[in-house]
Amino acid sequence: ARLIFCVEGRASISSCSSSLHVLQALLWSSIPLASRFAPFRNRPEYDLITRTAAYLEHSGFYFGPMDADEAHALLSEQPQGTFLVRDSTRPDVFFTLSYHSTQGPTSVRIELRDLRFGLAGSHKTFSCLFALLEYYRDSPKRSLRRPYRGAAPQGLQQLGRLAVVRAFGRDAVDRLPVSVVVRDYIHKFPFRI
């Protein structure tokens, strides 16, 4: 079989007679996210998860490789509706949403189906993970109310970015009379969460 796979700036593998696992190890070892996530099915999935992970890194409520017990311990002391996002412990799922529900802390898988994010057990999907979070935060049930960003208060820059995005919307950021540095900072996490 002949396989061609290109990653920007990396050599391509044009043929392989070894097992699929060896091939995956070669391909994914050159991709930084491979150590944190399951193998990607295709390049669009890789691009979507890479972009989402970059946004999550700037969100303040992403806790990476944390298990359910740790997440639940953090959330048990928080008000109902407080949530965080973490890496899933399941190899076939990228992220998990942990939140303080009416019954206490709980976790639900964030599934990726046809390049759309959805919660396990729900048919509702979104092109962006943050659209999913905003939907459940703004829904009448208000299952999600506020992200858990740790014990330290948010910095003035983070609060300013949030205020700008809430006031003008993410689509208006490029039209604002602000410096390129400020604009770039806002673009690193242009969501109302």
pLDDT tens per residue across span 169-192: 989 999 999 999 999 999 999 998
pLDDT tens per residue across span 46-103: 999 999 999 999 999 999 999 999 999 999 999 999 999 999 999 889 999 999 999 9
Q: How confident is the model at residue 122 (pLDDT cuts 50, 70, 90)?
A: very high
Question: Which pLDDT does position 36 carry in this prediction?
Answer: 59
Percent of the chain residues past pLDDT 90, beyond the cut:
66
- pLDDT exceeds 50 at position 23: no
Residue environment code for 128-162, b if the CB has 16+ CB neighbours within 10 A, otherwise e: ebbebbbebbeeeeebbeebbbeeeeeeeebeebb
Residues composing the chain:
193
| pLDDT (average), residues 135-153 | 88
pLDDT tens per residue across span 131-143: 999 999 999 888 9
- Full-model pTM: 0.76
Do residues 109 and 90 lie in contact, with contact meaning Cβ atoms separated by under 8 Å? yes
Q: Which residues contact residue 135 at a Cβ distance below 8 angstroms, ignoring those fewer than 6 apart?
A: 124, 126
Nearest Cα to Cα of residue 97 among 114, 77, 122, 165: 122
Average pLDDT of every residue of the chain:
83
Question: Which pLDDT does position 138 carry in this prediction?
Answer: 93
Question: Which pLDDT does position 37 carry in this prediction?
Answer: 64
- pLDDT exceeds 90 at position 110: yes
- pLDDT exceeds 50 at position 25: no
Q: Which CATH number fits domain 68-147: 3.30.505.10, 3.40.50.300, 2.40.37.10, 3.40.50.2300?
A: 3.30.505.10
The pair of structure tokens assigned to 80 is 């109902």
CATH 3.30.505.10 in the chain, residue ranges? 68-147
Question: Which pLDDT does position 41 carry in this prediction?
Answer: 86
